[in-house]
Amino acid sequence: MTETQLKQRLSAGVKDIDAPSDLLDRARLGGARRLRRRRFTAVAAASLAVAAIAGATFAVPAVRDRADQAQVATPTPWTDPITPNPLDRYALLMTGETGGDLAGDSAYLAQVLATWHDTQRKDRGKLIDPVAGDVWANLRGEPRIYWAGNTPAGRIALLVQHYQVPRPSSSSTITPKVPLPTARSTPGGILTVVAMVRDDSQGRPKVREFVTPYDDHSFPYFTIRDPGKSTFFYVIVSMGKRLGWRLSDGTATPFVFKDGVAVTELPIALINRMYIDPLPER
């Protein structure tokens, strides 16, 4: 077949086919749509890749922030039940209703509890009892406010909580900084710490001092002495007893208790000369 015959055959095969007048325009539009789809797909893929990279970039600081905000590791929990030692004189302070004229001030009580928890977290390892050791690291159960009131020394709260006496280590010997009380007054197991919380100069509660049964006090008491003042205060928990103060050669003057606590102001000259004694039963 010659080239001329081949052209004639092809022309005869398509002569009955009519091409639409807008075929070329539609072909161009279709090509443009396909091009836009390819471009959109490429942009979307690139956006996803950038987002993945950005997510990875921001995820690292987020993890680091969570690590920074993690709570301080708590000591290994004590497996024994929270059953106070029968020789713990302060255990009864963990029961009953909160006393004092601020007992109904929920905002103040919440501040006191928050201050206690914050102090434990920040000052663990700093506030050490010379005999009982690191009470903060061995607190057990939940704290409670035994008493909260307005006093001549400002707002004061007495907070109590159980703690675990550390078991002695067979591999180490602890030398106390002060002479040990008698064996009768140094019970082990679960005991109770009593802390005084008093407002600072800005009117914010602050943990001032704490005592434990290891201190060999029959009743918890605290001394408040402000610089430049000619008087000081005793904050005393009665423990159900009548108590009074006296000089070595004098008659005892009764403390006035309200809801089991007395806050008494005395001349500074007496601070190292007076004694606190139980009074005879009526």
**How many CB atoms are closer than 10 A to CB 264?**
19
Within a domain: 23: no
Predicted local confidence at residue 101, as pLDDT? 97
Within a domain: 267: yes
Give the whole-angstrom CA distance, residue 270 versus residue 27. 109
The larger pLDDT score, comparing residue 83 to residue 26, is at 83
Q: What is the largest CA-CA distance in the chain?
A: 148
Count: domains in the chain: 1
Is the separation of the CB atoms in 163 and 191 below 8 Å?
A: yes
When pLDDT is cut at 50, 70 and 90, the band that residue 4 belongs to is low
Give the whole-angstrom CA distance, residue 125 versus residue 122. 9
When pLDDT is cut at 50, 70 and 90, the band that residue 80 belongs to is low
Domain residue limits at 266:
91-169+180-278
Is the separation of the CB atoms in 220 and 191 below 8 Å?
A: no
Predicted local confidence at residue 197, as pLDDT? 97
Within a domain: 82: no
Q: For residue 88, give both structure tokens.
A: 């713990």
Taking residues 129-156, what's their average pLDDT?
A: 89
Give the whole-angstrom CA distance, residue 233 versus residue 247. 16
When pLDDT is cut at 50, 70 and 90, the band that residue 255 belongs to is very high
Q: Is the pLDDT of residue 128 over 80?
A: no
Within a domain: 208: yes
Within a domain: 153: yes
- Tell me what percent of the residues of the chain surpass a pLDDT of 70: 60
Predicted local confidence at residue 2, as pLDDT? 53
Within a domain: 221: yes
pLDDT tens, 195-230? 999 999 999 999 999 988 876 678 899 999 999 999
Is the separation of the CB atoms in 177 and 151 below 8 Å?
A: no
Within a domain: 231: yes
Predicted local confidence at residue 192, as pLDDT? 92
Whole-number average pLDDT of the chain: 73
The three-state secondary structure class of 163 is strand
pLDDT tens, 19-77? 444 444 444 444 444 433 333 334 444 444 444 444 433 333 333 333 333 343 344 44
The three-state secondary structure class of 45 is helix
The larger pLDDT score, comparing residue 239 to residue 58, is at 239
Within a domain: 192: yes
Predicted local confidence at residue 148, as pLDDT? 98
Give the whole-angstrom CA distance, residue 94 versus residue 110. 17
**How many CB atoms are closer than 10 A to CB 197?**
23
